[in-house]
Structure 1
Amino acid sequence: MTVHAPDLTSTTRLPSLSLAHPLVQSLPNGHVLVVGARSKWRPEGADRNAIVYDSAGVVVAEHTVGDGIEHVQATPRGEIWVGYFDEGIYGNYGWGEPDGEPPMGACGLTRFSAAFTQEWRYPSHVDNTWGAISDCDALNVDGDTVWTCYYNKFPIVRIQNDTLTGWHNNVYGARALAVGGSGIALFGGFGPEHDRLVVGVLSDDRFLVTSEYRLVQPSGQPLPATAHVVGRGPDLHLFVDDDWSRLNIDDLAVGLPH
């Protein structure tokens, strides 16, 4: 595991790492969280797919955070937000089967405490006018404020003090978002729109588009569909092979709609 700020500051070996498709987050006190995207449920217990390491790479805790994990982002206080894709919501790998436990990710988005207690769950469509999550496509944890955009109606929803505020949105398929002031940037889309970047403002209960771009690499080369993009606060972080680029929403023309 390497830490960059932006230059390389440290390298830590994580011995015997068995988790596939790992997602990594920094935790307080120099600890590091590594989460595997998949977890099988068995009668004797589910796979523990969340491992906490100290700064020397020694395992200090192991937990289960469910299957079908799309996003993991931690707050400065060490709380952990987990967003799930459809298999983690509706069940697979033993979760949700007649003899299995209900999927931990059935709500689509949840918050674990620093002690890995599931302490908040996204409300169902019965308790939430913006609808239930069928796939948590985009997640942005900015301090203690959380933003998400999800399938199937793709509302933009802010979670602040466990209270939801939402905006209708006609931009479908975004898989990352950045937030700065009243501006929002939505990245990604279905098929040929995988490199689409839409910028706009939140007005009343609706997201108003002001600009649309096609995102390319710093070299000018097209952005491949395999690029991994993560939104944190006002930044989009783009990973293409060994290259890591950052785009701040302040670099974009947000403005007001004409």
Structure 2
Amino acid sequence: MGCSAGTFRVGDGIEHFLTDESGHVWVGHFDQGVLGDRLSEPGIRRWSSAGRPLWEYEAAPGDQPVLECYALNVDHRATWAYPYTDFPLLEVRDGRPTRVRTTPVRYAHGVVVHGGLVAFFGGPGDVHDRLVTGRLTASTVETLETTRLTRPDGTRLGSRRVVCRGPRLYLQEHPGTEWTLFDLARQ
């Protein structure tokens, strides 16, 4: 049985690179890519596994363009993105217009969603382990609680990598030997 592989270019300044159940690739870019490369300019794109562009974010009138994709979550029903500058929560579903919800949360690096609940993880400086849970409304996110996400032993998290899938937030701390899981569905 043979296996073929191919390559294609998805742009510069890649912050997030995730696949969906169809094998399509979702890419979220940071500002150096968005401001310096035509392929990265939309800030968030979906590609077929063969490299054909399938979707890109286009800001509606009155909405801000994506200058940096701070968080990206690819689930089997929807893709969720959280971009700089206004930090809205974008909900992308096949065949539907992108839903934009305003949020009170700034500079999070992870977002997880379960039913009508959402949690944002991270922030700058001393709030790098902040966890803000909220409720989704038609056009906003209403904050329910702000706390800190800690290790199972109660100590604070260190520097880490964040990957989000549906209700699950996976954290890998430096030096990258273990993963910690936060599951919004179990809260």
| Cα distance in 2 between the residues matched to 1:172 and 1:181 | 22
Q: CA deviation at 1:232?
A: 0.5
Q: Give the AA of the match of 1:77.
A: S
Q: Give the AA of the match of 1:82.
A: V
- Listed as ranges, the matches of 1:225-244 within 5 Å are 226-240=159-173, 241-244=176-179
Q: Give the AA of the match of 1:219.
A: D
2:38 pairs, out of 94, 100, 103, with 103
- Listed as ranges, the matches of 1:83-232 within 5 Å are 83-91=28-36, 102-124=37-59, 127-161=60-94, 162-224=96-158, 226-232=159-165
Q: CA RMSD in A?
A: 1.7
Q: Name the SS of the counterpart of 2:108 in structure 1.
A: coil
- 113-122 vs 67-76, greater mean Cα deviation: 113-122
Q: Deviations over 1:96-153 (max 9, x none)?
A: xxxxxx43110000010121111211104xx354321010001101114111111000
TM-score by length of 2: 0.92
Q: Name the SS of the counterpart of 1:60 in structure 2.
A: coil
Higher relative contact order (CA 8 A, sep 6+): 2
Q: After the TM superposition, list the runs of 4 or more consecutive aligned residues in structure 1 that deviate by more than 6 angstroms.
A: none
Q: Give the AA of the match of 1:215.
A: L
Q: 1:221 to 1:79 in 2, by over 3 A?
A: same
Is 1:250 the counterpart of 2:185? The answer is yes
The aligned residue for residue 25 of structure 2 is 80
Identity %: 33
Q: CA deviation at 1:64?
A: 1.3
| Cα distance in 1 between the residues matched to 2:123 and 2:80 | 18
Q: CA deviation at 1:193?
A: 1.1
Q: 1:222 to 1:72 in 2, by over 3 A?
A: same
Q: Provide structure 2 residue ranges, at least 5 long, that are not aligned to the other structure.
A: none
Q: Name the SS of the counterpart of 1:169 in structure 2.
A: coil
Q: Provide structure 1 residue ranges, at least 5 long, that are not aligned to the other structure.
A: 1-57, 92-101, 253-258
